[in-house]
Structure 1
Amino acid sequence: MQKLYNFGPHKLCENQVFYKSKFCIGLVNLKPITPGHVMVIPRRIVPRFAEMTSDEATDMILSAQTIGKVIEKEFDATSLTMAMQDGPQAGQTVPHVHMHIIPRKAGDWANNDDIYDELDGKQAAGVKRVDNDERKPRSIDEMKEEAEKLRPFFNQHED
């Protein structure tokens, strides 16, 4: 039987997870805004960043750094956007701390900061973008394939 991980109220299959550290996991995104858009979350359900332990917060940042290096290379990016929406008024829609790691390339958005509107699901600067509700969710097989591609790049902490 496949292990399940909690992401707020959602259950994630192990085949969506490509990275495991002591306190965090890296997972592929159901509705990525770019190819290679992944997330890192604490294993424990923690609604807000300030509620994480020091060990969890440190591990999350170091995990994001480790994951980001691979994502940037594997998706031919030149930069990364790393974003955390901490609380409902900041745009957090799942009550579980998560950091988006999004590969970036020159000219991918006309206005660099429009990516934050896209994360919030808003229309950016007159550009018609597909918001979170309109983005088609990927299939389990698509997410599994991406996780399998990424998994060999990382040492895995055993559960």
Structure 2
Amino acid sequence: MVYDDQNIFARIIRNELPAIKIYEDDHVLAFMDIMPQAEGHTLVIPKSPAITLLDLAPEAAAYTIQIVQKVAKAMEQALEVKGIVLMQLSGAAAGQTVPHVHFHLIPSSIHELGKHALHMGDQEKIKVLAEKIKAAL
């Protein structure tokens, strides 16, 4: 499969679409999921054009997971959660809905998770949660 540079995450990386960002550097972007499975649901994406984890260069994968860990620690502190579900779906058959590799950080226990992308979240509440996480970074 050829990478589609018009996918929603590629457009967010280029600032063509809005996102509630909590972390960004030259290689990675972390932002709030607007259709969260739990309050504080965050996405971490490499800026490299890769569809799945298997398409991502090893160096980019290693750096991205370091930022995943950094953001997860900030979420744990800022949101006072006891657990974070880390999810990475590679390929449509695994449930991947956006063809750009991404990591889900979902503060909760597995028993509290709602279905992904079922309902649009309260954007103002999401922004408040984002500010708490950013402050902890």
Q: TM-score, normalised by structure 2?
A: 0.78
* 4+ residue segments displaced more than 2 Å: 8-14, 136-139, 141-154
Distance 1:52 1:62 in 2: 15
Is residue 111 of structure 2 the alignment partner of residue 118 of structure 1?
no
5+ residue gaps, structure 1:
1-5, 120-131, 155-159
**Matched letter for residue 136 of structure 1:** M
1:56 matched to 2:78? The reply is no
Go from structure 1 to structure 2 and tell me whether the alpha carbon gap of 1:9 and 1:37 turns closer, same or farther (over 3 Å shift).
Answer: same
Q: Which residues of 2 match residues 1-159 of structure 1 at below 5 A?
A: 7-8=9-10, 11-13=16-18, 16-105=20-109, 109=111, 115=113, 118-119=115-116, 132-133=117-118, 135-139=119-123, 141-154=124-137
Residue equivalent to 2:4: none
1 or 2, which has the higher helix percentage?
2
Q: Does structure 1 retain, via aligned residues, the 8 Å contact 2:43–2:104? A: yes
User: RMSD across aligned C-alpha pairs, in angstroms?
Assistant: 2.4
Distance 1:77-1:18 versus aligned 2 partners, 3 A rule? same
Structure with greater Cα Rg: 1
AA partner of residue 58 (structure 1): A
Identity of aligned residues (%): 24
Number of residue equivalences: 127
Q: 1:136 to 1:97 in 2, by over 3 A?
A: same
Supply the distance in 1 between the matched residues of 2:127 and 2:76 (Cα, whole angstroms): 20
Unpaired stretches in structure 2, ≥5 consecutive residues: 1-7
Q: TM-score, normalised by structure 1?
A: 0.68
